[in-house]
Amino acid sequence: MSKFVLIHGAWHGGWAWDNVRPVLEGAGHDVDALDLPGHGEDSTPTSEVTLESYVSRTVEALDASDEPVYLVGHSLARLVIAERPPRGVPRK
């Protein structure tokens, strides 16, 4: 089916999607509800957490897929998603 990458908001972790994930997976979709740096189970020190680190983590998840990805975000994730350059476009 389809691949979904779910990005949580500022005060959450990947667990924020715990009610959505099983619905998507039950419909046959592949789902990655990642933890941004410093959130959820990610142990990145707070001093290293930046918008750039969020974007890098998201780009890693997107680039790990060989198929098109639906990128879904909540709250803070809108900033992360807006920073993601289209595939094949070099980042600054």
Residue 45: the pLDDT is 97
The boundaries of the domain holding residue 57 are: 3-83
Residue 90 belongs to a domain = no
CA 84, CA 91: separation in Å to the nearest integer? 9
What the block records as the tokens of 30 is 């592949």
38 and 10 Cβ atoms separated by less than 8 Å? no
Per-residue pLDDT in tens (0 to 9) along the chain, 92 residues: 899 999 999 999 999 999 999 999 999 999 999 999 999 999 999 999 999 999 999 999 998 988 889 999 999 999 999 986 655 555 54
Residue 60 belongs to a domain = yes
CA 90, CA 14: separation in Å to the nearest integer? 27
Q: Strands across the sheet with 3-7, in order?
A: 30-33, 3-7, 69-73
Residue 74 belongs to a domain = yes
- Count how many domains the chain has: 1
Residue 92: the pLDDT is 47
Residue 21 belongs to a domain = yes
Residue 85: the pLDDT is 61
Residue 88: the pLDDT is 56
1 and 8 Cβ atoms separated by less than 8 Å? no
31 and 6 Cβ atoms separated by less than 8 Å? yes
Residue 36 belongs to a domain = yes
Q: What is the pTM of this model?
A: 0.86
Residue 25 belongs to a domain = yes
Residue 39 belongs to a domain = yes
Residue 22 belongs to a domain = yes
At which residue do the structure tokens 């680190």 appear? 53
